[in-house]
Amino acid sequence: MSNMSKQSYLMEEMSWPEVETALEEVEAAIIPVGSHEQHGPHLAESCDSDRAEKFARLLAERLYPRVLVTPTVNFGVSYHHMKFPGTITLSPETFISLLFDIARSLHQHGLERIIIFNAHGGNDAPIDVAIEKIRQAFPVRLTAFKHSDFIEDFIDSKVESETYGHACEYEVSEMLYLAPEKVKKDKLTPGEVLDFAGEYLKSPARIGADFAELTANGALGDATLASRELGEEIITEALDEVVKYIEKFINI
Ligand SMILES: [Zn+2]
């Protein structure tokens, strides 16, 4: 298909007749979901929303014309980051209601499959609840994941830092590749990781905790080890795996 005939897959850019035409071939909608929360001294607070949005767009390019991308949900559940200035959190109830209303709208337009593409761990549990509420209310097939879920071993093998998972070597690398303008390159600094982080990150159980108990500067790992090359490697590997999964999902 030539570029001339390739329409947008981003709902925020589309008119209703364009959506109507696209729906003839679309098999699923992707809802990118992020957060607005502190990401250490070296990343903008939009980090998770940026990663969700950019990755969802890469996915949609690969899967064109079978998926549409909704506007990004750029607030998430981030109570555990509230001790740092600037974080804006939704309550789990608001977040669940928001996803429910978006899914209901998509369903009313005929979408039968919805992919919740999440880039913030704090959203995982409320997303699971949202999926059950949506499924009980109307017949859509839902799936939710973070791209990192598909390549945990790969990321483990590539990241050198002892800890990672937030404003870290891993996350900064992804941002250097996906949204470099949001990385404060002159502020890159290792996480001031506190003793409790060891317990928290290694425990097989979940422990309720504030991020301020894990790290003094809001970051984990060593962001100074981050690179655009590592980000590109991780995103490319994840894209391959997630595309394969979505191709299966749209046939379920
Ligand atoms: Zn993040």
At 99-149, the pLDDT tens digits run 999 999 999 999 999 999 999 999 999 999 999 999 999 999 999 999 999
156-208 residue pLDDT tens: 999 999 989 999 999 999 999 999 999 999 999 999 999 998 888 888 998 89
What DSSP element (H or E) covers 117? strand 113-118
Give the residue carrying structure tokens 């655009």: 228
Share the mean pLDDT of the chain: 96
Instruction: Give me ligand 1 centre to Cα 52, in Å.
Output: 10
Rg (CA), the chain: 18
The domain in which residue 240 lies consists of 3-249
pLDDT at residue 209 tops 70: yes
pLDDT at residue 2 tops 50: no
Instruction: Give me ligand 1 centre to Cα 109, in Å.
Output: 32
Instruction: Give me ligand 1 centre to Cα 221, in Å.
Output: 13
CATH number, domain of 122, equals 3.40.50.10310
Q: What pairs with residue 10 in β-bridges?
A: 69
What is the side-by-side strand order in the sheet with 113-118?
67-69, 28-33, 113-118, 141-145
Instruction: Give me ligand 1 centre to Cα 36, in Å.
Output: 9
The number of distinct structural domains making up the chain is: 1
DSSP of 136-174: HHS--EEEEE-GGGGGHHHHHHH--SSS-SSSSHHHHHH
Instruction: Give me ligand 1 centre to Cα 48, in Å.
Output: 5
Q: What is the pTM for the complete model shown?
A: 0.96
Q: How confident is the model at residue 6 (pLDDT cuts 50, 70, 90)?
A: confident
Instruction: Give me ligand 1 centre to Cα 182, in Å.
Output: 12
Instruction: Give me ligand 1 centre to Cα 155, in Å.
Output: 15
Instruction: Give me ligand 1 centre to Cα 187, in Å.
Output: 17
